[in-house]
Amino acid sequence: MAALPAAAQDYLAFRSPSGNIVCAIWTGEWAGVRCDMTELTPSYRRRPADCDLEWGSSFEVDARGPGYLACVGDSVFDPGAFVLGYGKSVSLGALTCTSKKSGMTCTNGQGHGFSIAKAKQRVF
C-alpha cells in the first residue's frame, strides 16, 4: 500500500471488478485520488525528462488542478481493497471515482481528473 500523506484524514482503497485498475482516494492537506493499471495500451508515451521512476500506468488528480500521469516508485495496490462495482461511485470530499465497464473516471470538484481503461487513457 502507498504511504499516506502525513495529514490524511480519510483513506479508501478500491479496485475495478476486473482487477486491472486499483485506486486509493484520500482527504486532508494533500487530498487526491490515484489509480494504477496493471494492463494497458498506453495512450501517453513521452516520459517526462525529470521522471526516473515508473511512469505511464499511474494516474492522479489532486483536490485542485488537472489530472496527470504520476511518476511513482510504489503502488496503491491493497489486498484489502473493496470492489467498486460497475455503475457505482465512491467519494471523499470533493473527489469522486465512478466505475464502469468502460473503465474508471475520477474527478475533483473543479471537474478535472482522468478516465482510464485498458485501451485508452485520458487526463483532463
Q: Is residue 6 in a domain? A: no
In the chain, the number of structural domains is 1
Q: What burial letters (b/e) apply to 93-108, b meaning 16+ CB within 10 Å? A: bebbbbbeeebbbbbb
pLDDT tens sequence across 34-93:
999 999 999 999 999 999 999 999 999 999 999 999 999 999 999 899 999 999 999 999
Q: Is the pTM of this model over 0.85?
A: yes
Asked if the structure places residue 1 within a domain, the reply is: no
Tell whether 101 is covered by a domain: yes
Q: Give the CA count within 13 Å in the CB-facing half-sphere of 63.
A: 10
Percent of the chain with pLDDT over 70: 93
Q: Name the residue range of residue 57's domain.
A: 11-123
Distance (Å) of CA 47 to CA 31, 43, 120: 25, 12, 17
